[in-house]
Structure 1
């Protein structure tokens, strides 16, 4: 039995379910030595439809899946597992259709909500999963960052994402590294940053959080090429996804060599950043100085 098949679909988010189903269809097709055009011929559809299913652009319907799975060599006793996964994938997460969340960012939140682990390197701001309400408000109220929805709705959505860290079961684990400049970058009035630093001190003791600071004296490194996040998922042999955001949107990187490079960069950053103990001590000193 494939490791992914042994996993219960109930443990994942709809977005992760769609991703896994797309991956499984591609894996099964390639294992059977079939082309997308072969599957399309069996379903009597355009090959572009199969390409869109495998890229997550389109969801696969239950009837198509029932025809496709036996053709791809899935034994009859495993078909229900895939159909159950497809049902989960069709559900709506709290982020889907949320007017406070840009359409281009909805995919990321769905992946984040279903991730088991995130490694985040940030050059500009405190990661959203660790932000206080007032810190988030100061960012969202900035004219350069304001989106179409009301600021309060945007802040509420950002704080709702943090629930992944506090679930009773299958809580998300976060390893965050921030550049020291982030701790000095002024947000709102003087109390906003102090409140944020207090919160970071508390989160340093959270069982699901590892927090490190990259000090000024660490010197240049590949981290200066930009912020990024790696999201890992509770499935054997899933390499995860690297998420990179810029002024015009975002990129999702899933090629093995890309994943390897970003994880190597993160390991290097972690080695050169302050330890978790020293990072917490820096936060305490910064709070006293403020």
Structure 2
């Protein structure tokens, strides 16, 4: 599983400082798993593709099944199956990965942020 989390989502205080610290520490633990790649997209990355438009790309082990991007909004959700749109989501995700901190730097960022709470 690969994920890129924007810094704003990590700094939004939800549930109090103890809960946030535990959540950040849990992300560090999950990021250490061999099948997880966790990256933080810092504020310093500036305006990036898909900013403010969160999405998930569902990929399947069988390479014959195409990726399916998923996004939700206030009153529903969308599964994207159009080939050109799927390609756009994959391109945007690649750009997010490139703009984000490395996994090692992301772990350091999360640990530091947890220590500040």
Q: TM-score range by the shorter chain?
A: over 0.9
Q: Which residue of 2 aligns with 1:262?
A: 89
Deviations 1:42-84 (A, max 9, x none): xxxxxxxxxxxxxxxxxxxxxxxxxxxxxxxxxxxxxxxxxxx
1:68-217 alignment, distance < 5 Å = 174-217=1-44
TM-score w.r.t. structure 2 length? 0.95
Counterparts of 1:208 and 1:288, CA distance in 2: 26
Residue in 1 that maps onto 2:112: 285
Greater relative contact order structure (CA < 8 Å, 6+ sep): 2
How many residue pairs align between the two structures? 117
**Residue deviations 1:1-57 (CA, integer Å, cap 9, x gap):** xxxxxxxxxxxxxxxxxxxxxxxxxxxxxxxxxxxxxxxxxxxxxxxxxxxxxxxxx
- Answer 1 or 2: which has greater strand percent: 2
Cα shift at 1:279: 0.3
Distance in 2, matches of 1:261 and 1:279, equals 25
Tell me the secondary structure at the aligned position of residue 51 of structure 2. helix
Aligned residue number for residue 101 of structure 2: 274
Provide runs of 4+ in structure 1 moved above 4 Å: none
Q: Structure 1: give runs of 5+ residues left out of the alignment.
A: 1-173
RMSD: 1.0
Deviation at 1:223, TM superposition (A): 2.1
Over 3 Å counting, the alpha-carbon distance change for 1:183 and 1:236 in structure 2 is closer
* Mapped partners of 1:287, 1:182: distance in 2: 13
Instruction: Report the CA distance between 1:210 and its aligned residue.
Output: 0.5
Aligned to 1:18: none
Structure with more helix by fraction = 1
Q: Deviations over 1:177-232 (max 9, x none)?
A: 11101111011121000000110111111112110000001010222140001101
Superposed, 1:41-56 pairs within 5 Å as none
Larger Rg: 1
Does 1:233 pair with 2:63? no
